[in-house]
Structure 1
């Protein structure tokens, strides 16, 4: 999936979670976007990879693309680090929800992800699409609509 689809996926997922869990939607929204971009740190052409090129190249050299940073092992590692250093539950959960949204979206691509890294098994959905395809554009539109809906619902948190 493209970076923009990951961003809107992180927005939709974090706002939906905030709605159902009654967390601060603004904190979850920001954390969800960052979390949705983080797994692609292993790709130097990604939005986050271009911001942190040396780290991106190092991670890609050591692990490759869609392996460690797209795994449950990485998710748990990030959760432990967040728990140790971030006091806000909304920020921690938003970040992790954004990461999970990234994983789910990449499992909808033909390449899939190494969810169980270090095992070499690729995990993807039975029906997949190509990155940048018309199907991805439709998914982007649906995620954008969900973002607007849950964004509107988030107003109730502040009213």
Structure 2
């Protein structure tokens, strides 16, 4: 998936979670966007890879693309690091939601991901799409519509409270 689709996925996941939580939705969404981009640190051409080119090259040399950074092990490591060093749980939740949305979206591509790294099995959904193709554009649009819906619901809840 392309970066914009991952961002839309992270926003949607964070806003969906905000519907059932008392966490600050702005922190959730901001962290969700970061989390939605983080797994692609292993790809120099990605949005985050271009922002941090040295880190991207190192991670890619060590693990390759869509392996460690697209795994449950990486998700667990980030969760432990965040739990240890970041006292604000809302940020951690948002970051992890964004990362999970990234993994799910990339499982929908033909390449799939190494979800159980270091085991080399690639995991993909039963139906896959071409990255950057027409179907991805439809998925992007659907995620945007869902984000608008969840935003509207959140705003209406805030208006009811005040």
Q: CA deviation at 1:151?
A: 1.2
Q: Kindly report which structure 2 residues correspond to 1:46-57, keeping only aligned pairs within 5 A, or say none.
A: 46-57=46-57
Where in structure 2 are there 5+ consecutive unaligned residues? none
SS, match of residue 23 in structure 1: coil
Q: CA deviation at 1:119?
A: 0.1
Work out the CA distance in 1 between the residues paired with 2:87 and 2:49.
Answer: 27
Work out the CA distance in 2 between the residues paired with 1:142 and 1:60.
Answer: 31
For each residue in 1:104-140, what CA deviation from the matched residue of structure 2 results, as whole angstroms up to 9, or x when unmatched?
0000000000000000000000100000011100000
Work out the CA distance in 1 between the residues paired with 2:154 and 2:32.
Answer: 14
TM-score using structure 2 length: 0.95
Where in structure 1 are there 5+ consecutive unaligned residues? none
RMSD: 1.0
Aligned residues: 159
Q: CA deviation at 1:87?
A: 1.4
Work out the CA distance in 1 between the residues paired with 2:90 and 2:31.
Answer: 8
Work out the CA distance in 2 between the residues paired with 1:112 and 1:23.
Answer: 32
Other-structure match for 1:103? 103
Contact 1:22 1:157 in 2 (8 A): no
Q: Alpha carbons of 1:124 and 1:148: their partners in 2 closer, same or farther (altered >3 Å)?
A: same
Q: CA deviation at 1:157?
A: 4.2
Work out the CA distance in 2 between the residues paired with 1:153 and 1:35.
Answer: 23
Work out the CA distance in 2 between the residues paired with 1:57 and 1:44.
Answer: 7
For each residue in 1:29-58, what CA deviation from the matched residue of structure 2 results, as whole angstroms up to 9, or x when unmatched?
000000000000000000000000000000
